[in-house]
């Protein structure tokens, strides 16, 4: 278990104490340096059926997940142990606050990402 994964229950308590905003426009970050074992989260409120598109690159690899909190549990619909790039679309199956989370390894990492809302299907 990585250091950040061991902290997920504590992060759950913190996340419950803060207001998570809706994703109204793309969030783009480039050139973010993560120190060794650092964690970065991008959180947003999504309603049931809402979708987001995400894309990122990281060098060296990072652990990546999309998670939400249910009581004291942390649920990870997407969990990737080590990757240098990912992209996809995520659909919320319940109205909830969701977080994309990146965790650097022992060498740290250089992260760039884009997260944006996807228009509803018609």
- What phi and psi, each to the nearest 5 degrees, are found at residue 14? -65, -45
The pLDDT tens digits of the residues spanning 48-68 come to: 999 999 999 999 999 999 999
Tell me what pLDDT residue 3 has: 55
Res 4 pLDDT > 60: no
Tell me what pLDDT residue 7 has: 52
pLDDT, greater one: 15 or 122: 122
Classify residue 22 by its DSSP letter.
Answer: B
Annotate 44-113 with DSSP letters as a single string: EEE-TT-EEEEEEEEEEEEEEEEEEEETTEEEEEEEEEEEEEEEEEEE-SSSEEEEEEEEE-TT-EEEEE
For the 3-118 domain, the top CATH level (class) is mainly beta
Distance between CA atoms of residues 105 and 38, nearest Å: 8
When pLDDT is cut at 50, 70 and 90, the band that residue 6 belongs to is: low
Res 13 pLDDT > 50: no
Three-class SS of residue 108? coil
Distance between CA atoms of residues 36 and 120, nearest Å: 38
């Amino acid at each position: 278990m990585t250091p950040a994964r061991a902290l997920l229950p504590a992060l759950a308590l913190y996340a419950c104490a803060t207001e998570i905003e809706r994703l109204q426009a793309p969030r783009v970050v480039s050139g973010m340096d993560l120190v060794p074992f650092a964690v970065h989260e991008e959180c947003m409120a999504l309603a049931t059926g809402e979708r987001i598109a995400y894309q990122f690159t990281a060098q060296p690899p990072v652990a990546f997940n999309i998670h939400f909190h249910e009581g004291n549990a942390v649920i990870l619909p997407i969990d990737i142990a080590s990757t240098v790039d990912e992209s996809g679309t995520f659909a919320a199956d319940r109205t909830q606050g969701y977080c994309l989370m990146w965790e650097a390894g022992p060498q740290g990492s250089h992260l760039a990402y884009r997260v944006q809302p996807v228009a509803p299907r018609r």
